[in-house]
A and B are shown apart, each in its own frame.
Chain A
Amino acid sequence: MTTRHHALTTGLKAALLTTVMTVAGSAAWAQDGKTITTVVKISGIPWFDRMETGVDLYAEEHPEMTISQVGPATADSAQQLQIVQDLIARGTDALAVVPMDPGVLEGLLKRAIDRGTIVVTHEADNQVNTMANIEAFDNAEYGTALNERLAECMGQEGKWTTFVGSLGSRTHMQWVGAGEENAAKYPGMELVDPNNESFDDANGTYETAKEILRKHPDIKGFQTSAGNDVLGVGRAIEEAGLTGKVCLVGTGLPNPSAAYLDSGAITAIGFWDPQKAGMAMNEVARILLEGGELTDGMDLGVEGYESVSVTQGAGDGKLVVGNGMVIVDKDTYAERLF
């Protein structure tokens, strides 16, 4: 039994190693022209597959450079670290990283910058060792926009509640906080039992949503934050036969939410398009490679990033914030299906 167990572990290790080597190896190395490599959190999930379409699009627009995307097979910060280390050792000119855990990469990214590699990050506004971190939107503006869409659906009145992934999730709390502020404009809107924790679990969210529907049979709206929340609340609304009577606006992805958007159980979903974020990251990397400057209000030539705000980041680098939020409903989600 021990040997069999041993064989299994060895097999696993070998499999992991192969994955790491394949992804690193697939970043085909060109002899001339600069290389920009995008490193994502996990490869093979819809979000980062969508980002890859943006990276590919950018590569087509810039045939003079070698542009590609890689990422670990599982959500593991150690594997991501390994890949970044490999890329630096091979002498890639620019790295566009979506860190799994910014803290884990700090040391390595510092060394990369020291030896002249261009480092750009995304979704890591607390990353110290980066030359530019790109955020798709301002969190407060996003929360306000979601709530405004909800208020519109509710006719600016009635009871509503909020869900967050967890109370410790900074961005989620910023979104619902901005939502609350926005709703304060409308005296008819009454926030009840706010900040329910969903732990991004559709089933748990479903049970909590049912409970809220029982406690407040007259509830009119839900504003949710984690990606799975709209699915759980949407199912609760649909099963209760309240489609069209209760509004639901939250963060979600078009493909998973499609069925509920079609049925009307989800009013609208908000997100940022990883395709555009991937393109924006590569554009910033290209500008930095050519020795350009990032200036406030500049146009990156990517939808949602036509006039970015540039401020001082967590470290020496810049914080680049776009206006890349997307809010789609039943009629418009098909344009951005991923």
Chain B
Amino acid sequence: MTVVQHMNDPLSDSSGKTAPGRRAPRLFSFLQAHPEAVSLLLLVLICASVAAINPAFLQPSSLIDMGRASVVTGLFALGVFTVLASGGIDVSFPAVGAVAMYGISTLVLNVFPDMPMALIILLCVGVGVLLGAVNGVLVHELRAPALIVTIGTLYVFRGVLLVFVGTVWLMELPPQMVAFGQWSLIDITTSSGVTVSLPVYFLSLPLAGVLTWFVLNRTLMGRAIFAVGGKADVADRLGYNLRAVHVFAFAFAGGLAGMAGAIQASANRMANPFDFAGTEIIVIAAVILGGARITGGTGSVLGTVIGVLLVTVVNNVLVLVGIPSTWQRVVVGAFILLAAAFFVLRDRKTNI
């Protein structure tokens, strides 16, 4: 790790360090500087081959379905990306999302049935920020690896939810949440009479993307996050407040997870305290496929979004392509390995 790719500004990268004599050094160094271009290329390739195998894919409704399916994964991924950029990792976000979703739904149903939707979302985000901050404080104060700390809080948050809040699925959500989940932005009726609609909550993903980009690229906190993620001890000596960076990154991720919780409940018209379990792997895979390094200090918001689209598309075309269900996991796994191979190659090149 001699070359630390601070920021996601590709121009600051030392592309001249690529070993000369390669056939296409320019192309390689371009891809090296723009890891998200590789993911984008893969995405286009996959879409093209799926369309060739099954032209049913080429419908506006596919685009809408993918967009909607990527919202929750995307919100989680932007949070994980922020934490990764700061040099940590967060695997507790499924529990944070579940606590926000189920806790607030319970509160609304039992205490304040007429609570406006905006306040519900705000409260979910608030719960997420709070739990995220707990993660940040623990990671900083215990000086323990973030992975261990957040595995711990993953269990504690979920456990506390089940013990103290409840284990019963809430099937009858307040009408304002159901209405929010069904509030449609675009409605398309296909020739076969199937209605496909893009819900308004889809907008939360681009909004969260822009917000994350702004925080990371246009604020001092963003600079501090990449600096701490690149080399924490150096950043410390330079006067960056490590505690503030840790707490901020985890709280930001928690807030996005809370938001994802509010959307999941509204879209599904139910709150299930066991929801989101097991999503951590695919979300982290999406962030890594988007070009962020698991060791921190690099990556871009655009790359993360492309990574999310990549895993969403791969997960949502297997039936369309006609891969039998017994083979689907093999295909997803092989695909992640393939993409990972490129990034390993990239990192080796950078280390020369």
A5 to B137, CA, bound (A): 12
Number of residues in A with C-beta < 8 Å to the partner?
A: 48
Is B171 positioned at the interface, with any CB of A under 8 Å from its CB? Answer: yes
Interface string of A59-79 (1 = CB under 8 A from B): 000000000000001110000
A218 to B326, CA, bound (A): 24
A208 to B315, CA, bound (A): 9
| Closest chain A CB from B242 CB (angstroms) | 15
Task: Give B182-219 interface residues, CB cut-off 8 Å to A.
Answer: 189-190, 192-197
Q: Are B319 and A215 in contact (CB under 8 A)?
A: yes
Q: Are B137 and A213 in contact (CB under 8 A)?
A: no
Q: Note all chain A residues with C-beta closer than 8 A to B324.
A: 193, 195
- B325 closest partner in A (C-beta): A195
| Closest chain B CB from A199 CB (angstroms) | 8
A256 to B138, CA, bound (A): 39
Q: Are B195 and A240 in contact (CB under 8 A)?
A: yes
Q: Note all chain B residues with C-beta closer than 8 A to A75.
A: 167
A197 to B323, CA, bound (A): 13
If the complex has contacts A207-B69, A215-B56, are A44 and B166 also in contact, measured as CB distance less than 8 A? yes
Is A89 positioned at the interface, with any CB of B under 8 Å from its CB? Answer: no
Task: Give B295-322 interface residues, CB cut-off 8 Å to A.
Answer: 315-317, 319-320, 322
A39 to B195, CA, bound (A): 47
Q: Note all chain B residues with C-beta closer than 8 A to A258.
A: 171
Interface string of B57-76 (1 = CB under 8 A from A): 10101100100010010000
Q: Are B319 and A211 in contact (CB under 8 A)?
A: yes
Q: Note all chain A residues with C-beta closer than 8 A to B267.
A: 203
Interface string of A20-55 (1 = CB under 8 A from B): 000000000000000000000010111000000000
Q: Note all chain A residues with C-beta closer than 8 A to B137.
A: 1
Is B272 positioned at the interface, with any CB of A under 8 Å from its CB? Answer: yes
Q: Note all chain A residues with C-beta closer than 8 A to B62.
A: 214
Q: Note all chain A residues with C-beta closer than 8 A to B275.
A: 201, 203
If the complex has contacts A1-B137, A231-B270, are A167 and B325 also in contact, measured as CB distance less than 8 A? yes
Q: Are B316 and A207 in contact (CB under 8 A)?
A: yes
If the complex has contacts A239-B197, A241-B195, are A206 and B268 also in contact, measured as CB distance less than 8 A? yes
Q: Note all chain B residues with C-beta closer than 8 A to A199.
A: 278
Q: Are A12 and B168 in contact (CB under 8 A)?
A: no
Q: Are B320 and A1 in contact (CB under 8 A)?
A: no
Is A187 positioned at the interface, with any CB of B under 8 Å from its CB? Answer: no
Is B241 positioned at the interface, with any CB of A under 8 Å from its CB? Answer: no
Q: Are B56 and A214 in contact (CB under 8 A)?
A: yes
Chain B: interface secondary structure? Answer: helix
| Closest chain B CB from A110 CB (angstroms) | 30
- A73 closest partner in B (C-beta): B163
Task: Give B141-179 interface residues, CB cut-off 8 Å to A.
Answer: 141-142, 156, 159-160, 162-164, 166-169, 171
| Closest chain A CB from B94 CB (angstroms) | 12
Of the candidates B162, B193, B320, the one whose C-beta lies within 8 Å of that of A214 is B320
Is A159 positioned at the interface, with any CB of B under 8 Å from its CB? Answer: no
- A9 closest partner in B (C-beta): B156
Is A191 positioned at the interface, with any CB of B under 8 Å from its CB? Answer: no
Is A255 positioned at the interface, with any CB of B under 8 Å from its CB? Answer: yes
Is A334 positioned at the interface, with any CB of B under 8 Å from its CB? Answer: no
Q: Are A45 and B168 in contact (CB under 8 A)?
A: yes
Q: Note all chain A residues with C-beta closer than 8 A to B270.
A: 202, 231, 256
Task: Give A201-242 interface residues, CB cut-off 8 Å to B.
Answer: 201-203, 206-208, 210-215, 217-218, 228, 231, 235, 239-242
Name 29 A/B residue pairs within 8 A (Cβ), A-sorted: A1-B141, A45-B167, A46-B169, A73-B167, A74-B162, A74-B167, A75-B167, A193-B319, A203-B72, A203-B267, A207-B65, A207-B69, A211-B65, A211-B317, A211-B319, A211-B320, A214-B56, A214-B57, A214-B59, A214-B320, A215-B54, A217-B56, A218-B192, A228-B272, A231-B270, A235-B268, A239-B197, A240-B196, A241-B194
Q: Mark B residues whose CB is within 8 Å of A.
A: 54, 56-57, 59, 61-62, 65, 69, 72, 137-138, 141-142, 156, 159-160, 162-164, 166-169, 171, 189-190, 192-197, 264, 267-270, 272, 275, 278, 315-317, 319-320, 322, 324-326, 328
Q: Mark A residues whose CB is within 8 Å of B.
A: 1-2, 5, 8, 12, 15-16, 19, 42, 44-46, 73-75, 167, 193-197, 199, 201-203, 206-208, 210-215, 217-218, 228, 231, 235, 239-242, 245, 255-256, 258-259
4 shortest interchain CB distances as A-B pairs: A217-B192, A241-B195, A1-B141, A240-B194
